[in-house]
Amino acid sequence: MWGMIATWRMALEGVTKGAGMLEQGKNAGDAVEAAIREVEDFPYYKSVGYGGLPNEEMEVELDAAYMDGDTLSIGAVAAIKDYANPVSIARRLSSESVNNVLVGEGAEKFAHKEGFERKNMLTDRAKAFYRKRKKEVAQQELKPYSGHDTVGMVCLDNDGKVTAATSTSGLFMKKKGRVGDSPIAGSGFYADSKVGGASATGLGEDLMKGCISYEIVRLMKEGLHPQEACERAVRFLDAELKERRGKAGDLSLIAMNKEGQWGVATNIEGFSFAVAVEGKKPAVYLVKPGEDGHCTFEEASKEWMDDYMKTRMAPVEE
Ligand code: ASP
Domain of 142, CATH number, reads: 3.60.20.30
At 240 the three-state DSSP class reads: helix
At 259 the three-state DSSP class reads: coil
Measured in Å, residue 25 CA sits from the centre of ligand 1 at 32
Note whether residue 55 is domain-resident: yes
Spatial separation of the C-alpha atoms in residues 61 and 242, rounded to whole Å: 30
CB proximity list for 75: less than 8 A, separation 6 or greater = 65, 66, 67, 89, 90, 91, 92, 93, 94, 95, 96, 100, 101
Answering whether pTM is above 0.85, one says: yes
For the CA of 204, the closest atom of ligand 1 is 4
Residues 68, 120, 17, 6, Cα dihedral to 10°:
60
Cα-atom radius of gyration of the chain, to the nearest Å? 18
Under a CB-based contact definition with an 8 Å cutoff, are residues 169 and 26 in contact?
Answer: no
Amino acid at 64: A
| 150 catalytic residue (yes or no) | yes
Q: What is the DSSP letter of 210?
A: G
Domain count for the chain, please give it.
1
Nearest CA to ligand 1 atom 5: 170
Measured in Å, residue 251 CA sits from the centre of ligand 1 at 9
Note whether residue 97 is domain-resident: yes
pLDDT below 50 — which residues of the chain?
A: 147
At 233 the three-state DSSP class reads: helix
> Quick one: three-class SS letters along 6-29?
EECHHHHHHHHHHHHHHHCCCCHH
Note whether residue 85 is domain-resident: yes
Measured in Å, residue 208 CA sits from the centre of ligand 1 at 10
Note whether residue 9 is domain-resident: yes
Q: Looking at 7, 123, 150, 266, which residue is catalytic?
A: 150
Strand pairing class (272-277; 73-80): unpaired
Q: Minimal CA–CA distance to 78: which of 51, 57, 55?
A: 55
Position 147 scores a pLDDT of: 44
Measured in Å, residue 84 CA sits from the centre of ligand 1 at 19
Residue range(s) defining the domain that contains residue 158: 3-312
Position 236 scores a pLDDT of: 97
Q: Which residues line ligand 1 (CB under 6 A)?
A: 144, 149-150, 168, 170-171, 180-182, 201-204
Identify which of 45, 150, 208 to mutate to test ligand 1's pocket (most ligand atoms within 8 A of the CB).
150
Q: How many CB atoms lie within 10 A of CB 72?
A: 14
Measured in Å, residue 193 CA sits from the centre of ligand 1 at 25
Identify which of 146, 175, 176, 203 to mutate to test ligand 1's pocket (most ligand atoms within 8 A of the CB).
203
For the CA of 63, the closest atom of ligand 1 is 9
**Tens digit of each residue's pLDDT (9 = 90 or more) over 51-75:** 778 888 889 999 999 999 999 999 9
Note whether residue 318 is domain-resident: no
| Edge-to-edge strand list for the sheet holding 62-68 | 101-103, 73-80, 62-68, 162-168, 151-156, 3-7, 272-277, 280-289, 295-299
